[in-house]
Amino acid sequence: MEVKPTQRLFNVGQRPDELTLKPRGDKPWHRLRPPFTRRHWLAWRGVYNPKSLRRERRLLDKRPLWWGLGLGGLLVVTPFMSEQMINIAAIFCIFSAINVIWTLIVGAAGIFSLATMAVVGICGYAAAAANVYLGVPWPLMMPVGAVVGLVFGLFLALPSTRLDGLYYALLTLGIAEICRVSITQIKALAPNNSSINNVDSFIPAAWHLQRPGLLVGFAAAFLLLLAALLVFRLVNSERLGLLLQSAREDEAFSEAIGIDYRAARWWVFVLASCALGAIGAFYAMFYRSISLAVFSLDQLLLLFAMIVIGGLGRSEGAVLGTAVVVLIDKGLIGLGPLRIIIVTAVMIVVALFARDGLTGIKAQFRGFRNRKKSERRAARTEKGGEVMPEEATEIADKQLVYRRLFDKRLRDSLKALITPELIAEHRAKPLGQHTDALDRLLNYFRREEMPDKYGILRVGPLTSCSYRVIALSGRAGHPPRVVDDKLYPTLNEAFHAVFLLRVNDLLAS
């Protein structure tokens, strides 16, 4: 007996195995919100699945899951790791916090500032000096840093709206250098080697560089990172962020509709400087000292490598890039100068192949796949009323694409049926039984869409009337329009006139 080959069924569509919720139609949808806001925790969206013809709920934005997984994993795993790794995790958290705030300045506000580490350093020195020389207790160091950051940010922000791009970057680089030299020259501030030591800290002195101390340091750094992410979220996704986004899309237009994007940029810059100041104070507390290494160009370039590897302008990019670079830089410390070469190699590879860093790869790959798809589709596309390949990748419901393809083939086959004999047949008898070819043609015409469908209008009194052809608008409340000024004495002649118009339209399509 012949065995029938088993049929293989393929899952069709972009994400056949994506997890979706099946809602109950008879129950209202209760959603949880963070307190005091109108937002939702997760972006569930109710959508209609054109394939299964069912309602379903789909998670539109899966990034919160990745954030939870990554940060939660770090929090759970770190206490069980070696002391060196705990230190690396803490350093990762601090640098991530700096980079997230820096991303706010560069990505959201669009101010290309390189004074990040200068702000961190100045505020770190100020907070450390306040603690060591003025006896300010350590819980107040971060507010002190924030206030100094605010003042410094106000000063730095002055030229930021006047200069653009590289010019401002250069200016901030200059200011960073001026800061570094000034610190070396103020002997009273830092007598030995320009560094301030013995800073008080949230880590008890006895625990310094011991395992419990490292764990406390990591926990505090983790909280710092969470706070930085919260600041990013509050600034970037709320009112200020929206104003800035409009300015990024089109400066002139947003100005024309009354958005003062310069003020918004200025605000973001000052706020971010304030946050960087607090981080600077934390930095001094974490190491219990602060030295000129904060200002070094190498440190700045390493930070820059972090945000460009991850992708400029996104918080997840800043954190991911920091993770990659910190792991290479601190994790492979045995390799010596070779590890900087590895970092630069990663930078080059990412910049060569990824348009927007590591976090932009997904969007870039989608674009690439759509282009390839449309190219393949173009190779097998015939000329005429079909969907263009570029359009096709943008249409979510693929049935529309195939509907148009079907329609085009149907029209091609119907066009072949139109002969003078067929038209003569319709003229002789517009209504009643027809040949197969004419029937097919008329059936196709009856199925046409409402806009521009033809109708017949009676003119004059019923006893001595004539007819004229009109076209329907297809929109409620919009009257039909008159097609031409011809008057037809009988209804059959009007029917035939409509038929001829239709045939013309079909042949022209």
Q: Which residue has the tokens 């003569």?
A: 424
Size of the site for another protein (CB under 8 A): 47
Enclosing H/E stretch for 10: none
Half-sphere exposure of 39 (CA within 13 A, CB side): 9
Taking the complex as a whole, the smallest distance from the CB of residue 305 to another protein amounts, in Å, to 7
Taking the complex as a whole, the smallest distance from the CB of residue 170 to another protein amounts, in Å, to 5
Alpha carbon 30 to its chain centroid, in Å, reads: 27
Please classify residue 102 by burial: count the beta carbons closer than 10 Å to its beta carbon, then call 0-12 exposed, 13-18 middle and 19+ buried: buried
Structure tokens at 242: 């929206």
Enclosing H/E stretch for 461: none
Taking the complex as a whole, the smallest distance from the CB of residue 365 to another protein amounts, in Å, to 14
Out of 371, 458, 478, 486, the residue judged to bind another protein by CB under 8 A: 371
Distance CA 473, CA 489 (A): 25
Residue 252 in contact with another protein, rule: CB under 8 A: no
**Which residues 6+ apart lie within 8 Å of 185 measured at CB?**
none
Residue 124 in contact with another protein, rule: CB under 8 A: no
Taking the complex as a whole, the smallest distance from the CB of residue 416 to another protein amounts, in Å, to 20
Nearest CB to another protein, comparing residues 86 and 106: 106
Taking the complex as a whole, the smallest distance from the CB of residue 186 to another protein amounts, in Å, to 13
Residue 324 in contact with another protein, rule: CB under 8 A: no
Whether 247 and 259 have beta carbons less than 8 Å apart is answered as yes
Taking the complex as a whole, the smallest distance from the CB of residue 446 to another protein amounts, in Å, to 28
Mark the segment that binds another protein (CB under 8 A) among 214-222, 267-275, 284-292, 351-359. Answer: 351-359
Residue 236 in contact with another protein, rule: CB under 8 A: no
Please classify residue 357 by burial: count the beta carbons closer than 10 Å to its beta carbon, then call 0-12 exposed, 13-18 middle and 19+ buried: buried
Distance CA 387, CA 406 (A): 11
Mark the segment that binds another protein (CB under 8 A) among 7-15, 137-145, 370-378, 411-419. Answer: 370-378
Q: Report the 10 Å Cβ neighbour count for 10.
A: 6
Give me the DSSP letters along 220-247: HHHHHHHHHHHHHHHHHSSHHHHHHHHH
Taking the complex as a whole, the smallest distance from the CB of residue 462 to another protein amounts, in Å, to 43
Residue 255 in contact with another protein, rule: CB under 8 A: no
378-417: contacts with another protein (CB under 8 A): 378-379, 381, 383-384, 388-391, 393-394
Nearest CB to another protein, comparing residues 262 and 440: 262
Residue 181 in contact with another protein, rule: CB under 8 A: yes
**Residue 264-303 contact track with another protein, rule CB under 8 A, x = bound:** ---------------------------------x---x--
Alpha carbon 393 to its chain centroid, in Å, reads: 19
Residue 312 in contact with another protein, rule: CB under 8 A: yes
HEC string for 11-32: CCCCCCCCCCECCCCCCCCCCC
Q: Which residues of 29-38 are buried (b: 16+ CB within 10 A; e: fewer)?
A: eeeeeeeeee
Taking the complex as a whole, the smallest distance from the CB of residue 382 to another protein amounts, in Å, to 10
Nearest CB to another protein, comparing residues 289 and 370: 370
Residue 337 in contact with another protein, rule: CB under 8 A: yes
Taking the complex as a whole, the smallest distance from the CB of residue 263 to another protein amounts, in Å, to 18
Taking the complex as a whole, the smallest distance from the CB of residue 174 to another protein amounts, in Å, to 3
Tell me the residue type at 486: K
Residue 175 in contact with another protein, rule: CB under 8 A: yes
Residue 60 in contact with another protein, rule: CB under 8 A: no
Tell me the residue type at 369: R
Mark the segment that binds another protein (CB under 8 A) among 134-142, 344-352, 427-435, 468-476. Answer: 344-352
Tell me the residue type at 140: L
Taking the complex as a whole, the smallest distance from the CB of residue 162 to another protein amounts, in Å, to 5
Residue 355 in contact with another protein, rule: CB under 8 A: yes
Residue 345 in contact with another protein, rule: CB under 8 A: yes
Please classify residue 129 by burial: count the beta carbons closer than 10 Å to its beta carbon, then call 0-12 exposed, 13-18 middle and 19+ buried: buried
DSSP reduced 3-state for 109: coil
128-167: contacts with another protein (CB under 8 A): 159, 162-164, 166-167
Alpha carbon 384 to its chain centroid, in Å, reads: 36
| Measured CA angle at 77 (ends 71, 81), to 5 deg | 135
Please classify residue 268 by burial: count the beta carbons closer than 10 Å to its beta carbon, then call 0-12 exposed, 13-18 middle and 19+ buried: buried
Residue 114 in contact with another protein, rule: CB under 8 A: no
**Alpha-carbon dihedral of residues 128, 133, 136, 137, nearest 10 degrees?**
70
Mark the segment that binds another protein (CB under 8 A) among 52-60, 115-123, 336-344, 406-414. Answer: 336-344
Number of H helices, E strands in the chain: 18, 5
182-211: contacts with another protein (CB under 8 A): 182
Nearest CB to another protein, comparing residues 392 and 441: 392
**H-type alpha helices, 104-210:** 116-134, 141-157, 165-185
Taking the complex as a whole, the smallest distance from the CB of residue 311 to another protein amounts, in Å, to 11
Taking the complex as a whole, the smallest distance from the CB of residue 354 to another protein amounts, in Å, to 9
Query: Applying CB under 8 A, which residues contact another protein?
Result: 159, 162-164, 166-167, 170-171, 173-175, 177-178, 181-182, 297, 301, 304-305, 308, 312, 337-338, 340-341, 343-345, 347-348, 351-352, 355-356, 371, 375, 378-379, 381, 383-384, 388-391, 393-394
